[in-house]
Amino acid sequence: MNAGDLAPDFTLTTDDGGSFTLSQALAHGPVVLFFYPAAMTKGCTKESCHFRDMGAAYQAAGVQRIGISMDDVAKQAQFAEANRLDYPLLSDPQGRVAALYGVKRAFDFLKVKRSTFAIGTDQRIVEVISSEFSMEVHAERALEVLTPR
């Protein structure tokens, strides 16, 4: 997936057992969809907490934060609670959505590539942020490209 592509629509279960559909969420503003390899790991915790810590800036800009991994709903709920995450985490246990976005890996340990998709209300990808080791760049760059100037 690249900037300018139409983001694939999908529906997944949230960490609180609810349902999230991308096209429905986009009716309420842009979405930052970030894929992370595994809940409860050091790098993913750092990245997810950085998104949490930038919550006020995201809210002021009207941009929604959505985390997604191949962890099951129970583990996502545990991760959200342990880190006081104030945004939905989506469970993609078979990696179906990860595959649609081209971030699913062939091997099991790190199931997805750490990638962030900044998606405009027209469902077009504005930018793709890919960095396995710079955890802060994802939240900062995604907000930057979606913030009206």
Q: Name which of 17, 40, 15, 20 is nearest 97 in CA terms.
A: 20
Give just the sign of the alpha carbon dihedral 138, 116, 93, 76.
positive
| Cα distance between residue 141 and residue 121, in whole Å | 17
Q: Which of 7, 22, 32, 44 is catalytic?
A: 44
SS (H, E, C) 5-46: CECCCCEEEECCCCEEEHHHHHCCCCEEEEECCCCCCHHHHH
Does the active-site annotation cover 49?
A: no
Catalytic residues: 44
